[in-house]
Amino acid sequence: MPQRLKASLAPAVKRVDAPRAAKPATPQASQFPSTAHDVARLAGVSQSAVSRCFTPGASVSDAMRQRVQQAADTLGYRPNLIARSLIKRESTIIGVVLPDLDNPFYASVVGRLSSMLTETGRRILLFRSPATDSSDPVLEDVLRYRVDGLILVSSPLSSTFADECVRIGLPVVQLNRTSMRARVSSVVGDNVRGAARIAEHLLRHGHRRLAYVAGQDGSSTSQERENGFTAALRQAGLTLALRETGHYTQDGARAATQRLLSLPEPPDAIFFANDYMALAGLSVARHAFGADIGRSLSIVGFDDIPMAAWPEFSLATFRQPIDAMCARTVEIIQAQLGDIGVAPQRLVLPGELVVRGSVRGGVVDPLA
Amino acid sequence: MPQRLKASLAPAVKRVDAPRAAKPATPQASQFPSTAHDVARLAGVSQSAVSRCFTPGASVSDAMRQRVQQAADTLGYRPNLIARSLIKRESTIIGVVLPDLDNPFYASVVGRLSSMLTETGRRILLFRSPATDSSDPVLEDVLRYRVDGLILVSSPLSSTFADECVRIGLPVVQLNRTSMRARVSSVVGDNVRGAARIAEHLLRHGHRRLAYVAGQDGSSTSQERENGFTAALRQAGLTLALRETGHYTQDGARAATQRLLSLPEPPDAIFFANDYMALAGLSVARHAFGADIGRSLSIVGFDDIPMAAWPEFSLATFRQPIDAMCARTVEIIQAQLGDIGVAPQRLVLPGELVVRGSVRGGVVDPLA
DNA sequence: CTGAAAGCGCTAACAA
DNA sequence: TTGTTAGCGCTTTCAG
């Protein structure tokens, strides 16, 4: 609501109860939200009394509360949280930065975070981090809003920026990503172990020519999964045969799959850095290359998004404990909110290998 | 950043340049964001000069700009948008209310809205509307944040609340939903026509026992689609054979599909109120009932989310112009922001029937 | 219990 | 061009 008629500034002499800017004759026409002052005037009480009536633990007489309540109702008064946060130094809004809402995993994360944060009266202010560039400019922007906390979903964080957040006492949590250098809390699934479990399963079922489709180079998540995967291969005396990057997009995954399967010696198993890519890859492999998924070609993802379980895909994957991850994230924010300077936590939550029909040895859906 | 040490309030005598609250000895420990005042002091200029340096069109000398810039840099100063919005009466934040981020259509909408709004420096404050109850309590909450505009994605809006928004001059747009009574702008696809096109196609290909799986009763979108569908049937001398409600959820859609296909005389075609439900329904029909999709049973959705085109589903649908819908929505917000009291618009954007393999007469993917 | 007054960090007249 | 000043709407001492 920008262009409110500018009230002609009062002269140097202070005028208590100065009349507000002239309002249009028609009362229903563009008015503006009424203020505590308006309510106070109507109720014939002080403005601070009004404030108290809207403050949980304040001591107000019943009579006062009545008067104020009624005046507030007739004026449609709603406390201005912007003004409140200025003085309370607490905005009740949490900045959430994420790369992409099209990935169901992220969408689900945001939904859960929103629900959980709402329980303590907080809201999400949404920001998108650029896929490739540094997200520092975005974060710079977030800070201007004086958010109470910052959650970076799968988004990068420079250590200088992390330091800045520490300096100003802003709780920050990286979710589904970490930074080696940045001294901030993070909550991630057990990427190394999960990827190793996947590799072991693949090896156990006779796969020898394995490919990895990375997400974004530079993403800790993708790197850890790759590390866990290749480490397990190494342990078996093997190496990663092929490697592509899908940029965490479905287009990227399709292109990567196409390149892999067009090779003279294509892989006999592909591990994608997440389900979102794996689904796209699986689909292309099956329909564009006629691959016999789960037999001549095994496909595995990571996350266990709902669609992975659909019989159309029956995608083997490593389940991330998404609920727990979100819960822990919110808890860390709360904890740091209450007690500044608590040491940053780096949580690694266990997941679970989910073997399905897209890999050898997987349970084929009896209904398929 | 709540518990800044409360500065002991200054005595009645006004003290210019009053010292701030004592800061911890360790400068890197919990400090707080520096203010324009801090910068001014360090640079040896007035606080308003600092403000000017961060105001695009202000007249500031180069010397001044230099001094201030440097001081600001060393202090890591960032203008407090909360404070700014208080005086500018403009928060640069847009409230977005939506029921569910799990539906890819909504997720995509939010992503696009976010991108488009970001171009004019606005951010999204996210709210979830309850699926069933009135969303008025949520909206009540939104208003406390003094958002510059309000976008309701597929969410209900009472006329009393709509009036309230008009009264306070808040731009509101309903996206993918309308209210008969509420006097607010809305942007929707051509639900009636789209549904009619779907019915016509189905009838033309010999279907006679048609079912509709509604979204949410009370949702204008679901109702319009049903109306368009049944109207087209009526025109052909038919009526809707069966009707279920899927509550816009995949579980609901699966249950509805199960009920329909368990009937002694199951439908030969099912029209789901959106793709999100249709995909789930299609999957269940195929795998749990062995339905021959696109032959003995046709399935159609609405929206044309990306997955509908995947060969696994090849879901026939009516494409909603999601980009245009988001763009129009943002434009309306902008327009009302600039000129209060413009008449509410009710846009109905044309869509396009997308015939695919899930219906008779559909193109079967050659690669399938 | 209530009101007066100060001020959160900022912008915007206005005067110099 | 720059500094002074008066608030934006609210919370919070501090008196009474």
Q: What is the pLDDT of residues B41-54, one digit of tens each?
A: 999 999 999 999 99
Lowest mean pLDDT among A9-13, A269-273, B185-189, B281-285: A9-13
Q: Are strands B172-175 and B185-189 parallel, antiparallel or unpaired?
A: parallel
Residue A191's nearest CA partner among A315, A288, A302 is A302
Cβ-Cβ contacts under 8 Å, A107 against chain B: 101-102, 104, 107
Res A2 pLDDT > 50: no
Q: Strand D nucleotides below 7 A of a protein CB?
A: 1-14
Cβ-Cβ contacts under 8 Å, A93 against chain B: 125, 145
More confident residue, B28 or A59: A59
Angstrom distance, A142 CA to D12 C1': 28
Give the pLDDT band (50/70/90) at residue A364.
Answer: low
Angstrom distance, A50 CA to D16 C1': 19
B104/A102 CB distance under 8 A: yes
Minimum Cα–Cα distance from B130: chain A residue: A115
Rounded-to-integer distance, Cα B31 and Cα B51, Å: 22
Cβ-Cβ contacts under 8 Å, A90 against chain B: 1-2
Q: Is A114 on the interface with B (CB under 8 A)?
A: yes
Residue B286's nearest CA partner among B296, B276, B277 is B296
Protein side of the strand D interface (CB < 7 A): A 7, 9-10, 12, 14-15, 18, 20, 32, 35-37, 47-48, 51-52, 54-55, 77-80, 83-84, 86-88; B 6, 8-9, 45-49, 52, 59-61, 63-64, 83, 86-87, 89
Chain B closest-CA separation from residue A313 CA (Å): 8
Q: Is A60 on the interface with B (CB under 8 A)?
A: no
Residues within 8 A of A (CB atoms), B 176-235 only: none
Res A29 pLDDT > 90: no
A28/B166 CB distance under 8 A: yes
Rounded-to-integer distance, Cα A176 and Cα A156, Å: 10
Find the nucleotide nearest B8 (Cα to C1′): D13
Tell me the H-state helices in B263-321.
275-289
Res B15 pLDDT > 70: no
Cα–Cα separations (whole angstroms), residue A100 to A103, A106, A109, A331, B2: 6, 7, 11, 24, 30
Angstrom distance, A86 CA to D9 C1': 10
Closest residue (CA) to C1' of nucleotide D2 is: B49
Lowest mean pLDDT among A312-321, B22-31, B316-325: B22-31
**Mean pLDDT in residue range B111-138:** 93
Res B7 pLDDT > 70: no
Q: Is B283 on the interface with A (CB under 8 A)?
A: yes
| CATH number among 1.10.10.10, 3.40.50.2300, 3.40.50.1000, 3.30.70.20, domain A191-321 | 3.40.50.2300
**Mean pLDDT in residue range A269-296:** 97
**Mean pLDDT in residue range B113-126:** 97
The three-state secondary structure class of A162 is helix
Q: Other C-beta atoms within 10 Å of B18: how many?
A: 12
Q: Is A277 on the interface with B (CB under 8 A)?
A: no
A28/B167 CB distance under 8 A: yes
pLDDT of res. B367: 43
Q: What is the pLDDT of residues A87-97, one digit of tens each?
A: 999 999 999 99
B143/A78 CB distance under 8 A: yes
Q: What is the pLDDT of residues B306-338, one digit of tens each?
A: 999 999 999 999 999 999 999 999 999 999 998
pTM of the full structure: 0.92
CA–chain centroid gap for B253, Å, is 22
More confident residue, A341 or A358: A358
Q: Are strands A210-214 and B123-128 parallel, antiparallel or unpaired?
A: unpaired
Q: Verify if strand C has an atom below 7 Å from the CB of A3.
A: no
Q: Is A33 on the interface with B (CB under 8 A)?
A: yes
A2/B88 CB distance under 8 A: yes
Q: Verify if strand C has an atom below 7 Å from the CB of B15.
A: yes
pLDDT of res. B41: 95
Rounded-to-integer distance, Cα B40 and Cα A178, Å: 37
* Domain residue limits, chain B: 36-77, 90-189+323-350, 191-321
pLDDT of res. B296: 95
Res A190 pLDDT > 90: yes
Note whether B83 and B51 are within 8 A (CB): no
Q: Is B137 on the interface with A (CB under 8 A)?
A: no
Q: Which of A82, A85, A336, A342 to mutate to test the interface with B (most CBs of B within 10 A)?
A: A82
Cβ-Cβ contacts under 8 Å, B76 against chain A: 164, 167-168
Same fold flag, B90-189+323-350 and B191-321: yes
Cβ-Cβ contacts under 8 Å, A86 against chain B: 80, 82-83, 86
Q: Other C-beta atoms within 10 Å of B64: how many?
A: 17
Cβ-Cβ contacts under 8 Å, A153 against chain B: none
Of A88, A89, A101, the CB nearest to B110: A101
Res A169 pLDDT > 70: yes
| CATH number among 3.30.750.24, 3.40.50.2000, 3.40.50.2300, 3.40.309.10, domain A90-189+323-350 | 3.40.50.2300
Q: Which residue type, as a one-letter code, is found at position B17? A: D
**Mean pLDDT in residue range A40-63:** 94
**Mean pLDDT in residue range A167-175:** 95
Cβ-Cβ contacts under 8 Å, B83 against chain A: 86
A76/B167 CB distance under 8 A: yes
Q: Is B28 on the interface with A (CB under 8 A)?
A: yes
Give the pLDDT band (50/70/90) at residue B131.
Answer: confident
Report residue A10 as tokens.
Answer: 């009062």
Cα–Cα separations (whole angstroms), residue A199 to A190, A287, A314, A364, B221: 14, 25, 18, 20, 47
Chain B closest-CA separation from residue A207 CA (Å): 26
Lowest mean pLDDT among A24-28, A357-361, B73-77, B363-367: A24-28
**Mean pLDDT in residue range B189-216:** 98
Lowest mean pLDDT among A76-90, B26-40, B73-87: B26-40
Percent of chain B with pLDDT over 70: 90
Res A27 pLDDT > 70: no
B79/A144 CB distance under 8 A: yes
Rounded-to-integer distance, Cα B354 and Cα B316, Å: 6
pLDDT of res. A134: 85
Tell me the count of A-B CB pairs closer than 8 A. 187
Q: What is the pLDDT of residues A132-143, one digit of tens each?
A: 778 889 999 999
Q: Strand C nucleotides below 7 A of a protein CB?
A: 1-14
Q: Which of B34, B101, B127 to mutate to test the interface with A (most CBs of A within 10 A)?
A: B101
Res A173 pLDDT > 60: yes
Half-sphere exposure of residue A206: CA atoms within 13 angstroms, side-chain side: 7
pLDDT of res. B30: 52
